[in-house]
Homo-oligomer: A and B are copies of this chain.
Amino acid sequence: MTYPKSINNLISNLKNLPGVGEKTAERMALAMIDFDKEKLGSFSDSITDVKDKIRHCLICNNLSEEDECIICKDKTRDSGILCIVDDVRSLMLFEKNNLFNGKYHILKGLISPSNGIDPEDIDIEALINRVEKEKIKELIIAVKPSLEGEATALYIAKRLEPKNITVSKIAHGVPMGADMEYLDAITLRTALFERKKIS
Contacts and interface: CB of A to CB of B under 8 A. Distances in A.
A189 to B, nearest CB: 30
Interface string A22-51: 001011111111010101111111111111
A34 to B, nearest CB: 10
Size range of the chain A interface in the assembly: 35 or more
B5 A32 contact: no
A6 B71 contact: no
A63 B3 contact: yes
B48 A13 contact: no
A51 B40 contact: yes
Given A43-B16, A44-B44, A50 B32 contact: yes
A178 interface: no
A116 interface: no
Contact of A43 (B18, B47, B69): B47
A32 B27 CA distance: 19
Specify how many copies of this chain sit in the oligomer.
2
A9 B49 contact: yes
Interface string A65-106: 100011100100000000000001100100100000000000
A136 interface: no
A41 B33 contact: no
A32 B17 contact: yes
A177 interface: no
A22 to B, nearest CB: 11
Interface of A: 1-7, 9-10, 12-13, 16-20, 24, 26-33, 35, 37, 39-51, 53-54, 63-65, 69-71, 74, 88-89, 92, 95
